Amino acid sequence: MFEAIVIGASAGGLKVLTSVLGALPSEFPLPIIIVQHLHPHSDSYLAQILDAKCQLKVKQADEKESIVAGVVYVAPPNYHLLVEEDRSFSLSCEEPVKFARPSVDVLFETAIYAYRDKLIGIILTGANNDGSQGVKKIKQMGGYVIVQAPTTAEAEAMPQAAIAATQVDKVLPINQIGPYLLQLINKKNK
């Protein structure tokens, strides 16, 4: 039974996130936690944009906030987003990882300790290899990994790096990720 989903995206991520989240119903039973690489000084309208385009509640993650099922959380710009073992968030201003803050690897590598083999990690479009170490850790600890098919990504580097790093469970074109998640959750969580 799965208990949480973490998603990493970079270049071209807004379009892909809109597609994935748009396929999920308002009663989707798991929390979804997203790192989208943003310019450090950007105003983060990402949560509002995604909230307007999908049926789930989307919000920016806050320090010490408890993670709740059925909510989509987005990392704030210029902060690493970490999942604590008590399943709450912490934010960090530590150095960028692979030139990124927030870092996909930081989110994935902390979330796996909170959720263990009940975590799904998803890597979407992006122009670097952020997330590749995180998916490797998720697989090592028994979690499940889905990667956007590089041929459908605006930037292929992140999906390719994830596929090269570990034996991923599924590689899917973007329009199939949301529907596949629904099938997977319904099958495993019955």
Inter-helix orientation angle 46-53/13-22, to 10°: 40
3 state DSSP class of 151:
helix
Q: Which of 19, 80, 103, 130 is catalytic?
A: 130
Calpha distance 12→93 (Å, rounded): 24
Place of tokens 């039973």: 29
Paired residues of 91 in beta bridges: 81
CB 152, CB 20: distance < 8 Å: no
Calpha distance 16→116 (Å, rounded): 26
CA-wise closest residue to 79 among 139, 35, 125: 35
Catalytic residue status for 19: no
CA–chain centroid gap for 50, Å, is 14
Q: Which of 19, 37, 80, 105 is catalytic?
A: 37
Active site residues: 10, 37, 130
